[in-house]
Amino acid sequence: MKNFKENLSERIFFLLALSALSVLALITVFIFIKGVPIISKVGLKNFVFGMKWAPSQGAYGIFPMIVGSISVTLGAAIIGVPIAICCSIFLAEFAPETLRNIFRPAIQLLAGIPSVVYGFWGVLFIVPLIRNYLGGPGLSILAGSIILAIMILPTIISITEVSILALPRHYKDGALALGLTHWQTIWFLLLPAAKSGIVAAIILGLGRAIGETMAVIMVVGNAVALPESILDPVRTLTTNIGIEMGYASGEHQQALFATGIVLFIIIMIMNATAQYITRKK
């Protein structure tokens, strides 16, 4: 009877895991079935590197949106990654237990705030601030980067802190015994030793950033053009899908699914890189 229950439980868990993979496979197949025909018709090179997006004229070039996605994500990394790593070091090495118990739930709460709230706050606060003090329309790469930097903080902080705390205690004790200061121990020993975990955290955070839609729609301006500075408006791959999918049909709809294929491949590469780095450790 005991073996029967164990076998039954094992099969139930297997079916549940298989159902999750099946859903992922169905979504992937559906996106490729819908998007591949227009890529074949237009040509992969023209689709990926085309400069003009005008569905009414049969032009489906997404290169400006690829540049927009990379620009906003890179900006989020430049702003958010140093802050996240410094916060992780503080929580892992300097903060007293009472302060940790306050900071950790607060940081985790950031992950639970709906993205539309971040976007609304960006429109009311970040965009006017940029417009009044830096110039431009305010709806820009910089505004999107700031919002996404805040949104990726919980992911990077949590994983980086765990990576630092997971290091063997004798690493730190040995360094201090050799005469290194606390900061030297962190900079020259703990951070290099936790490097793979930190890199994985950054990649996962950036994967979250590049896939964000609602908050980015509200603050980047959604202009289909190559930006010349961080104060220019752009349109990202995700915002393009979010804006136009509601009324698209025919080849236009196929082109949006094809945009999803490009985005899917980018995110899969980033996630696979993170998994490889984590397993390598």
Give the least confident one: 83-92, 215-224, 245-254, 270-279: 270-279
pLDDT tens digits for range 134-165: 988 999 999 999 999 999 999 999 999 999 99
Give percent of the chain with pLDDT exceeding 90: 49
Q: Is the distance from CB of 237 to CB of 212 less than 8 angstroms?
A: no
pLDDT score, position 4? 66
Q: Is the distance from CB of 80 to CB of 144 less than 8 angstroms?
A: no
CA 200/CA 166 separation, integer angstroms: 15
Which pair of structure tokens corresponds to residue 242? 């979010």
On the question of pLDDT at 272 being above 60, the answer is yes
pLDDT band at 248 (very low <50, low <70, confident <90, very high): confident
CA dihedral 164, 110, 67, 61 (to 10 degrees): 130
Give the least confident one: 8-22, 29-43, 133-147, 212-226: 8-22
CA 61/CA 181 separation, integer angstroms: 55
CA 46/CA 61 separation, integer angstroms: 6
pLDDT score, position 281? 54
Q: Structural domains in the chain?
A: 53-280 (1.10.3720.10)
On the question of pLDDT at 2 being above 70, the answer is no
Task: Provide the whole-model pTM.
Answer: 0.88
